[in-house]
């Protein structure tokens, strides 16, 4: 789990989650996005919180396959184990 590849993948997932949560805060409920009207501390806090949760789920998912990735489905051979 403590590999550079693991942390790169986990960081990528976390940053994507942060961006998605930030976009959802901007877009949900508003017809038009106004950068001057955004509550930046709130938006940043929610986005960072989502990133931390994403990182924690990556760490929790790592031992599932034992392949050193932060994925529940694994990133190796995607064929079912019984089909070899």
Tens digit of each residue's pLDDT, the chain (84 residues): 578 999 999 999 999 999 999 888 877 766 667 778 888 898 899 999 999 999 999 998 888 877 778 887 766 555 555 554
Give CA–CA dist 80/42, Å, rounded: 44
Angle at 14 between CA 79 and CA 76, to 5 degrees: 15
| pTM greater than the 0.75 cutoff | no
Helix (H, G, I), strand (E, B) or coil at 29: coil
């Amino acid at each position: 789990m403590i590999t550079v590849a693991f942390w790169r993948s986990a960081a990528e997932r976390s940053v994507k989650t942060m961006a998605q949560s930030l976009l959802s805060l901007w877009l949900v409920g508003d017809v038009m996005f106004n950068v001057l009207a955004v509550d930046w501390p709130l938006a940043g806090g929610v986005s960072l919180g989502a990133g931390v949760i994403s990182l924690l789920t990556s760490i929790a998912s790592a031992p599932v396959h034992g392949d050193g990735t932060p994925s529940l489905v694994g990133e190796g051979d995607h064929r079912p184990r019984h089909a070899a």
